[in-house]
Structure 1
């Protein structure tokens, strides 16, 4: 599946009439990036969120418009990383998609921590884990099966071993502090200090493991993560897809959209409590359900595309 169902083909007939080269390229990129999705109408929510913020329309309006604005941005980030992957290969493209796709969650977590909203961080991370393990994985397997309905989906054993070991490491780093808490109920003060130290050590271990995984994936064992050609490829039709925009343009647009994501994420964190009180929804529900769906939209779309 080479393109998402949210994509639509851009009509560049009017742009091709422009004689100035740089202006023609800029307008073509503008049309491909902003109008090349069926969610393009949601881009209107971005300026509306900014206006609602500075015209004091109310925190619920700012929160809702910011969430709506994040949705097409996440899908376009997936599109831009796919364009970059045409020039860098699927490995680096997938790495960019994972990094930039988590920009919303990372920024929300950092801003929430600076404002001492620890519960928002914990709930959003929990929702992100559940969303990736259940929603994203299930949808990817379903779409991959539909796109290759006449073939059996094959997975590389070595890649599966690496991913399962990383999953086991992450599970242990999360479970050990929890087990420590239940094991030390008789001395809660000492236990709290030990849990804090163990949690910090676990976070450092997971960060080092992620860096080691990147080195393993991109440099030392990059051949294991390249696209595998099956024996049935001789009967398949070769795809004639080509990048819609240039590498430099895609990178610039990716940086700009990541900046807008940071701005809207700041609005979300600042107004989440007021929106919770106004709508009668708990912060845990908003953080576990709504934020991960929007934050993982880029990864979700990217997983469907590569499936």
Structure 2
């Protein structure tokens, strides 16, 4: 029996997956076996890959983990063909250990609609829904890689890849020269996290715990709010600079909004890098997340890798390619889809795109709030908003600079005003370290008001050509004015 178990363990590694139950054998004589070893015995001298400790995981990864379920591979282990058996185990871990597996058919439907050249509005819709499970799988695969790297590198991977979907969409939109879509979608992600996600979470948690206020650690929220104020200040100064001082020439400072935006973006990236060092190294104890024992040990089990390093890496590349293709579908069809559904492009980019694209992490944040784990909920909402505002937005400006596209930090008056007021309202709601359903309702009402305003917006400048000059779509303008 021991020989059979050892053969199954070796076969699983060769196929790129790990056995669901680790063997009792402590054999580790083969050099490559240690890469996929799931044994929890840390006493031996050859144990090089310890599972990621709790403080190496971010709230975003914990939120995504709440949507996963344990894979039952009992029947698959009875398949006589070793290669087929381990391939099927691998596929089950990737596609069926998530509660969102029923959304994977939308990915296939998006490709079918595209190749059949069907209505652009439906291509946009199914591509957007198809991104939901892919975004969760990106988080899962990133965490699998992080389990082999230790808490610091693993925490860095989780912290920087939490909003990979938004970054990929932004890069494709920049490649197409659609600067306004980039700005609107990134602004919408920040507003969605601070008002919709946080508001829904606080409201649901407050209703669940109606008789007592929920308490959270203010130290984390203070850091996140401070970084958001830095981002808001940069956007405000660029806006004001464009109105009053953009034409002023000096020997020491940039002479226009574009150059000033690039300078501010560099400083924003430096500040975000300092934040990661602060979070992962010098003050990691402030960001430790205790999930607690509530009878659901799915998150704890995820700390043991279920894929080998190379298998996780290969699947991560594959999923990233799928996200990139669907992102291109979305960028190419967003204007036509907006016309088809009778919506403005600004509303589609700021409201619909972030709601559907971030649905997985939104659901996880609400679930933790209902369980009265607001530290994780705040980590998801504030962490994602901070990463978008302080990392993805300035990185997009720098990448656009490299590509020769003139993207700046001027998000226009209503957009910048919405961002600043959102940060202020969020800061006021979180100032005392307690929560109730009324605070959640305030955030939700603010989001509804902003959504209604952008629903009424009709802009003729829906795109940008690669050299950065405004391009007015006459046909779109006529259809919107009709």
Where on the TM-score scale, by shorter chain, does this alignment land: which range?
Answer: 0.7 to 0.9
The answer to which of 297-306 and 11-20 deviates more is 297-306
Give the counterpart of 1:265 among 324, 327, 332: 327
8 A contact 1:86–1:242 mirrored in 2: no
Question: Cα deviations across residues 255-279 of structure 1 (Å, max 9, x unaligned)?
Answer: 3222211110011101111212222
**Contact 1:87–1:247 (CA under 8 A) maintained in structure 2:** no
C-alpha deviation, 1:302, in angstroms: 5.2
User: Any idea what the Cα deviations from partners look like across 1:219-246, whole Å, max 9, x if unmatched?
Assistant: 33334333369xxx7x987958423723
Select the residue among 200, 224, 227 that pairs with 1:163. 224
- Deviation, structure 1 residue 23: 4.1
Contact 1:102–1:295 at 8 Å: present in 2 too? no
5 Å-filtered alignment, 1:95-244, equals 95-141=156-202, 152-155=214-217, 157=219, 159-184=220-245, 189-190=247-248, 193-227=255-289, 239=297, 241-243=300-302
Give the aligned partner of residue 77 of structure 2: 16
- What does residue 33 of structure 1 align with? 94
Residues in 2 aligned to 1:27 and 1:276: alpha-carbon distance in whole angstroms: 40
RMSD: 3.6
- 1:296 Cα deviation after fit: 2.5
Displacement of 1:21 in angstroms is 5.0
2:122 to 43, 57, 61: 61
Deviation at 1:24, TM superposition (A): 3.3
Whether the aligned pair in 2 keeps the contact of 1:131 and 1:292 (CA below 8 Å) is yes
Residues 285, 254 of structure 1: alpha-carbon distance in 2 compared, 3 angstrom cutoff:
same
Give the corresponding residue for 1:283: 345
CA distance in 2, matches of 1:209, 1:251: 29
CA contact (8 A) 2:238 2:261 kept: yes
Q: CA deviation at 1:31?
A: 1.5
Cα distance per residue 1:144-184 (max 9 Å; x no partner): 6659x989533152x34432331221121111112223445
Residues 150/84 of structure 1: CA separation in 2 closer, same or farther (3 Å cut): farther
The structure with the largest alpha-carbon Rg is: 2
Say whether residues 1:72 and 2:133 are aligned partners: yes
> Does 1 or 2 have the higher relative contact order (CA < 8 Å, sep 6+)?
1
Stretch moving more, 17-26 or 212-221 = 17-26
How far has the Cα of 1:112 moved from its partner?
A: 1.5
In 2, are the aligned partners of 1:103 and 1:262 still within 8 Å (CA)? no
**Does structure 1 retain, via aligned residues, the 8 Å contact 2:334–2:345?**
yes
Which deviates further from its counterpart, 295-304 or 125-134? 295-304
Q: 1:88 to 1:179 in 2, by over 3 A?
A: same
TM-score by length of 1: 0.79
Higher helix share: 1
Match among 336, 355, 367 for residue 274 of structure 1: 336
Aligned residue pairs, count: 299
CA distance in 1, matches of 2:228, 2:239: 17
- Indicate how the Cα distance of structure 1 residues 110 and 26 shifts in structure 2: closer, same or farther if over 3 A, else same: same
CA contact (8 A) 1:78 1:302 kept: no
CA distances 1:250-306 after superposition (whole Å, capped 9, x unpaired): 444333222211110011101111212222221111101111123323543554564
Residues 201-225 of structure 1: per-residue CA shift (max 9 Å, x gap): 1111111111222222223333433
Distance 1:65 1:153, change over 3 A: same
* Equivalent pair of 1:90/1:226 in contact (CA under 8 Å): no
Q: CA deviation at 1:2?
A: 7.8
Q: TM-score under structure 2 normalisation?
A: 0.53
